[in-house]
Each structure stands twice: as structure tokens, then as C-alpha cells.
A and B are shown apart, each in its own frame.
Chain A
Amino acid sequence: MPEPTDLTSRFTSRRGLLFGTAAVGAGALLTGCTSNEPKDEPAANDQPAAEDKPGKPVTIGFAGPQADHGWLNAINDNAKSRAKKYSDVTLEITEGSNDTAAQIGQIETLINKKVDVLVVLPADGKALTQVGLKAMRANIPVVNLDRIFNTPQAYRCWIGGDNYGMGLNAGHYIGEKLKGKSNATVIELAGLDNLELTQQRTKGFDDALKNYPNIKKVARQAAEFTVESGQAKMAQLLQAQSKFDALWNHDDDQGVGALRAIEQAGRDDFLMVGGAGALSAFQAIKEDDGVLKATVLYPPTMAASAIDLARALGQGKGVSGMAEFEIPASITLYSAVVDKDNVDQYMSTGFK
């Protein structure tokens, strides 16, 4: 008599149990799956800007954008590990934010806390100029990292990369490699076109190529600094250009996608130069079994140097190795070309 109802209820409860167990199991398995390997400490040149001996204690406030990109993440890591190295440095680091208003608030908090020196990598340099001025007026020297404020009054020292120089060095490297080859062609995989830095990199690249009349740039497409866009745009470029001699890719992160597209298309008849200095690019250059032969640096170690400079400012020291008593007002880093010959030296600075 009770068979039908009993069967259905048993069936549903068993099904419920089955799904329940599966859901819990999936949940347990998934939560275990969010872990990534522990981060390695980023390394940099160990020579500090000022002398290494512990001096007057300095509290450094650090405000950067949200680390949603490998390079920005490396900036934070570099700053943190450099500060940890000094027993006389206390680092007050804020939660990174891409929102201008939020970042202004964070910097104002640091000013109110009366930190000795500020290191600021603005989400948007122009938009944060006012708060830089405010800190300087409160007698807190500001080290402006990479994205520059509107006026030199808003910082005591600016340190950053050289986008134009990146393009220039990439162009010269490719130019030298293709020397003597008549009617050589190159293509360019640029970064996000909305950013001024992309235009600067392209200008540097074009200017360098002017020195080599045998080389012509035949195509340029802009990706978005992401792996996905790098793959998509590179695949199109490869289809558009059945033959070319060299490729410059602005960014190693999107380069992961570009290399994937190159592999998928089965192409290996050209030379590729990257940009920024990601660990995966360094490893590929060292292995030397693909098209990627070099990359042009935009070094995240600048954050470590910024901490050095901030410490020197706080202790009233100059830069060791220079005659001046004060640290410089502006430091533009060199975009070195890393290829097989010198890659070992840079390997530890590569970011993920």
C-alpha cells in the first residue's frame, strides 16, 4: 500500500542527500582551490640610496592604486619588503584604490597622522596634485612615484619610469638586430590606447626606427594590457601580416596572450621584444626556444628606490655615490633591454 508515496519520498530524500553531499563536497574542494603559492620576496639591487646604517626613525606613508595588475602588485611588494629591511623605517601602507576621491581621503589620513615622509603612486597624477600640495604645505615631503603630479610644487622628488625611453630602446634593439636586412618589416602590439603612456611608448618606438631606413612599421594594434586582449589582437595581427621580421609588444602581461596566439598560429619566423619585465618573459628569454628574445624594462623596483629616497629625506641625507648633500628633485629610470646575455641579473626582479 504505501509503496508509491514511500518510494517517492525515499527517492526525493536520497536525491536531496546526493545533491547536498555533492554541493558540500564541491564547496569544500573549491575553497581549497583558491590558494596560490606563497609569494616570493621581490629582490632588487641591494645597494640603498643612502647609507644602510640605522639612523633616526622614519615613518613613511605609502599610498598606491589598487593592485589589479602584475606590475602594480610588484610595486606594493617592493615597497613593503624594502621597508622591512630597515629597522629604522615604519611603513604605513593604505589599501590601494583606483578611485581618486578614495585615494585623496587616504592620503589626507596619512597627513593627519603626521607621517614623516609620503610616497604616493597616484591612480591619476593630475587629479591628485592638490593633495600632494597639501602634504608639502604641511611640511611632509612627498616622493611622487611614477605617475607625475601636475606641478613640481606638489612633490619633493619624483621617481619613475621612462615610457618614451622604453619605446626608444625597443626600437634600437630591433633596429640593430635587423641591421643589413633590406626591406625589413616590424609590427607593434601596443597597450591601452586611452593612456598617454601608450602614445609615448609608440612615439619612442617610431623615433628609434627612423634611424633605420631599411625598416618599415607595417601594422599596429592596441590591446588592453590583459592576457585575453593580447591573445585576441595578436591573433588578428598574425592573420593580417603573413610575413614580418620583428614585433614589439608593450607589455609582458598581455604578452602571455600574444605568445599564446603566436603558438596557436604556429609562427616562429620573427623576433619578439616585450615590455615591463615579467617573470614569465624573463624565463622565456632564458630558455630561448621561442620568438621572445628580449624585453624592455619598466622596473617595479622603483618602489623600493622610492622607499630609500623617502628614508633619506626623513633622515636628511643625500644619495650615496653622489656629491650633493640633497637627494635629486627628479629621477627618470633607465629602460634597460634584457636579453639572454643579462637576464640572470634581472630574474629576481621579474613580477608575476
Chain B
Amino acid sequence: MTQHASPPRDSTGKVPSAGAPPVWRGLMARADVRTLSLLGVLAALIVIGGITKPEEFLDTRNLQLVLTQASVIGVVTVGMTFVIISGGIDLSVGAIVALASVWATTVATQEYGFAGILFTAVVVGVGCGLVNGMLIAYGAMVPFIATLAMLASARGLALQITDGKTQIVTIPSVLDLGERDAYVLGIPPLVMVFAVVTVIGWLVLNRTTFGRRTVAVGGNAEAARLAGIDVRRQRLYLYLLSGLCCGIAAFLLIILSGSGQNTNGNLYELDAIAAAIIGGTLLTGGRGTIVGSVLGVLIFTTITNIFALNNLQSDVQQIAKGAIIVAAVLVQRRTASTT
């Protein structure tokens, strides 16, 4: 009897290659080809921007500008990514941002100052998410329908509150957060919030049971239920999370624009879904990454920025945006299938 020393296997059953430190291996496995190809697209855009408008594009102020413009939709997209990974969809995000931003900027709310505005924006966002979640999880409504209904109602309520008027914010402590003086080490506060939301989103998705349950529900809800996951409660929490992100985004938008208007958040649902899809999140659920979605948002914002700097008009911008969505997805698929 000869004894064969079998090499140790990790949980996935693969034999780890000798020499590579485990941390590095983990990173390599995680940074999948999709994410790398997104980084490639972003790098290509940066090269295009740098060649066409070197002075204006490759500038600290422009970096601050692009990241700031990405913050509001970025926070919404993080919430949307969770919902899509779970196999759902949230069409009401733009409307919730609009409702939260106008509710938080009425004359009555502004009397409560900074805290009143922040509190109202977040609570309205969570409240809408709660309604969505209850309808979907316990009312057994299809997410598409429930959130479509929320889209209509929230926009209507926003219009009713504003009466079509622009509500200008007069609280200095809120407005100051959007000024250059508030930048810490050159980083705008809005961008910091975006970064924090992204990191928390990443941790929750990858490092918690909540995140694993989300993926499980999206992958196969029935299997998840049999495995002991309370699928309905999980769905409720996910729409609450999306609502929370909308509330935070509404507060950022109030800081950025210094006002609340019922037209705010126009077509955010499409932008957020597009960013998540480009980022590699499956519309059918079960797969997706926060990093990919955030890269998707950054790609869109960078495109808009490059077009504006080159003084291209909105017709050209829209055509090119559509083309770039298709191109990005095709490139991803190609790279994913060849490796």
C-alpha cells in the first residue's frame, strides 16, 4: 500500500496554485473579467477625453465635477443593484427621489433646518420603499407593476406638493455642503457619501448573510425558500434598501441643486438600470456586483462630460449613448466567453 499525499483542496474544490499568497488569489478570483473590461472601457474614455480636450478634461476640477455628477445617480444605482440581483426591479426610483426632494424642501420642512431636510428625505424614501416592499412581498404583486404604480403616484404627489413650483432651499448649512469650501482634501462631501454608500453596499452584498440571501433569492427563490430563507421578508428589506438609497440621493440632489422640484430624478430608473446592466448585473437576478454598477455609472457620467466639453449637442449625445451601451455589453460578452 503506497500512500498518496493528496494536495489540500479549498472549498471550491480547486487545487490552489503553489506560490500565490491567498489574499492575492482571492482578489484575482473576485476581479472577474467583466469588471476588468469595464475598467478598460473607462480607460479608453479617459484616453479619448484626454486627447480631445487635454486641458479641460485632465484637470482636478473636472475629476471633482464628474464624481460629483455621478454621486446622486450612483447612490440610487447601488440600491437598484441589490433589487435586480434579487430578481426584482424598481421603476419608482426617480419618482421617489422627486417626492423625497420636494417633501424635504417645503417651507414647513425648511423650518426644521438641516436635520429636518435630511430626516424628511430619508424617511420619505424609506416610506415609499416600505410600500413597494409590502406590495411585492406580502401583496404578491409583480415588482414591475408595483413600482410602476409607485412611479405614477409619487410623481403625482410631488406635483401636488410643489404645485409645479421650484422650491428654493434657504438653509445655509445645507447649501454650504455643495460649495468648494466644504471639500475635504479636495474631495466633495457628495462624493464621500457616494463612496461610503458604495463601500457599505459592497460589504453588505459580499460579506453578510443578507447579501448571500439576496443572491440566493435572485438565483432561485424556491430553492432559497426551501433552504430556510424568509424570501418575502428578504424582498421587503430589499425595496426598503432601495427606498433608503433614493432618500439619500434626494438629499444629495438638494445639496447639489439648492432646490426641490417635482421634475427631479427624471428617468433615473432607466439610468440606474442601464448602469447596473452594463456593470454585469443579470436582469433575471442571481448575479451582479456593486463595483460593476459603480463603474457603469462612472462610464455614463464620463461620456456625458466628454461630450459636453467637446460641445456636442444632445442629439449626438443620445445616439452615442445608446451605441456605447450596446458596445459595452458586446465587449463584455466577448471577453467573458474567450476566458
Contact = CB atoms under 8 A, between A and B. Distances in A.
Interface of A: 26, 29-30, 32-37, 39, 66-70, 72-73, 193, 218-222, 224-233, 235-237, 239-240, 242, 253, 256-257, 260, 263-266, 278, 280, 351-352
B108 to A, nearest CB: 5
28 contacts: A29-B119, A33-B116, A36-B108, A36-B165, A66-B159, A68-B164, A68-B263, A73-B165, A221-B308, A222-B314, A225-B263, A227-B166, A227-B257, A228-B257, A228-B264, A229-B266, A235-B68, A239-B56, A239-B62, A239-B65, A240-B310, A242-B55, A256-B166, A260-B256, A260-B257, A260-B258, A260-B259, A264-B180
A214 B108 CA distance: 50
Given A68-B262, A253-B166, A36 B56 contact: no
Interface string B93-116: 000000000011011110010001
Contacts of B163: 36, 39, 67, 73
Nearest to B111: A33
Interface string B148-168: 000000000001011111111
A236 B305 contact: yes
B250 to A, nearest CB: 11
Given A69-B164, A220-B313, A240-B308, A228 B107 contact: no
Contacts of A264: 178-180
Contacts of B161: 34, 36
Contacts of A35: 106-108
Contacts of B62: 239
Contacts of B333: none
Contact of A34 (B59, B103, B164, B310): B103
Interface residues of B, number: 54
A240 B108 contact: no
Given A33-B116, A34-B161, A235-B69, A226 B305 contact: no
Nearest to A238: B65
B192 interface: no
Contacts of B69: 232, 235
B289 interface: no
B261 to A, nearest CB: 5
B334 interface: no
B179 A257 contact: no
Contacts, number: 147
A237 B308 contact: yes
Nearest to A221: B308
A266 B180 contact: yes
Contacts of B178: 260, 264
Interface string B107-141: 11100100010011001100100000000000000
A209 B1 CA distance: 97
Interface of B: 53, 55-56, 59, 61-62, 65, 68-69, 103-104, 106-109, 112, 116, 119-120, 123-124, 127, 159, 161-168, 178-180, 253, 256-259, 261-266, 304-305, 308-311, 313-315
Nearest to A22: B123
Given A33-B108, A34-B108, A240-B308, A193 B314 contact: yes
A221 B308 CA distance: 7
A327 B263 CA distance: 38
A256 B97 CA distance: 19
Summarize B's interface: helix, strand, loop or mixed.
Answer: helix
Most buried by A among B56, B68, B166, B253: B166
A257 B309 contact: no
A263 B166 contact: no
B246 to A, nearest CB: 14
A281 B261 CA distance: 16
Given A33-B109, A35-B107, A226-B266, A263 B179 contact: yes
B155 to A, nearest CB: 9
Nearest to B72: A228
Contacts of A39: 163
Closest 3 CB pairs between A and B?
A236-B308, A73-B164, A33-B109
Nearest to B62: A239
B124 to A, nearest CB: 7
Given A33-B116, A227-B166, A240-B53, A193 B313 contact: yes
Contacts of A73: 163-165
A36 B65 contact: no
A114 to B, nearest CB: 31
A230 B315 CA distance: 17
A199 B167 CA distance: 28
B108 A236 contact: no
Nearest to B304: A236
Contacts of B308: 221, 233, 236-237, 239-240
Given A30-B123, A33-B109, A236-B65, A256 B258 contact: yes
B261 A227 contact: yes
A352 B165 contact: yes
A180 to B, nearest CB: 27
A69 B264 CA distance: 12
Contacts of B108: 32-36
A233 B261 CA distance: 17
B232 to A, nearest CB: 19
A110 B238 CA distance: 48
B313 A30 contact: no
A26 B262 CA distance: 22
A149 B329 CA distance: 45
Contacts of A226: 261, 263-264, 266
